[in-house]
Amino acid sequence: MPSSSSVMSDIKTPLEPPPSYESASKPAPAAVGAPAPPRQGLVRAPLPLDLPALNMIRGRRVILASASPRRKQLLAQIGLTDIEIIPSTAPENFPKSFTPFEYVLQTATQKAMNVYQAEIDSAKGEPALIVAADTVVVSHTGEILEKPRSEKEHIAVLKSLRDSGWHKVFTAVVCMAPLESAVDPGYAMETHVEETAVKFDSAVTDDLILAYVKTREGADKAGGYGIQGIGSILVEKIDGTFDNVVGLPLRATLQLIEKVMEPENEME
């Protein structure tokens, strides 16, 4: 039996790392002079929505006052792909004695105002539109749930949501647009708060909860789960809009953009 050292010496270290899953699934390059492989059907991205409010802001500064990649992805679905990400620097410290409706609305409004005040006189030019949002998960007892602060707390929160049946998700959206006139206060603002009820599957086991926590997907999310990702395996059903649970009710957001960009805002 060879020694471990001789076995190790026989192992050849590869000069290059193994191919990724993505590259391994691609066909090998054809040899020079070989006929080209038949073209496969191409999937074309949908054309952008042709709406007056969206056309007004194309090519202008549109700011998302949030670092959430999920909100950015949702706005891209309505054609707002070239947006600036400028998170609010204001502390989110409103008292938990507020109702969930008041809490998210005040927080989202503060985010929008904070970024508006910082960017209205920017060297880049004033923004055409600022979108801010805030989402909270509320337990069946009315407690506003924050992002989990530890693995132990994360597990406890998810078990509580499973055992209590339904819980609620509130998202507030605030859209602001500077006015060209000097009408006080100098901007138009529209707000909306949306509520969605979510029910975890009571058959979810402790082992599944632990396995989900270990993925860390929900570590940076209020309530400790992401319904748009692996966290969907915890959810039995919802009553309301799915994208509201993700973090931005898209239909309502588009309606706010249309309202805030209306010309009659100049005359109010």
Name which of 246, 131, 138 is nearest 189 in CA terms.
131
Residue 6's H or E segment, with its range, is helix 4-10
Catalytic annotation present for 121: no
176: its two tokens? 């602001």
Using only C-alpha atoms, the chain has a radius of gyration, in whole angstroms, of: 24
In this structure, are residues 166 and 216 in contact, taking their beta carbons and an 8 Å threshold?
no
d(CA 81, CA 208): 36
Helices (H) and strands (E) in the chain, counts: 9, 7
- Measured CA to CA, the distance from residue 7 to residue 188 in angstroms comes to 74
What's the rounded Cα separation, in Å, for the pair 47 and 141? Answer: 45
DSSP string for 52-118: HHHHHHTTS-EEE----HHHHHHHHTTT--S-EE----S-----TTS-HHHHHHHHHHHHHHHHHHH
Choice among 10, 50, 121, 134 that is catalytic: 134
Write the DSSP string, 154-211: HHHHHHHHHHH-EEEEEEEEEEEEE-SS--TTSEEEEEEEEEEEEEE-TT--HHHHHH
Catalytic residues: 134
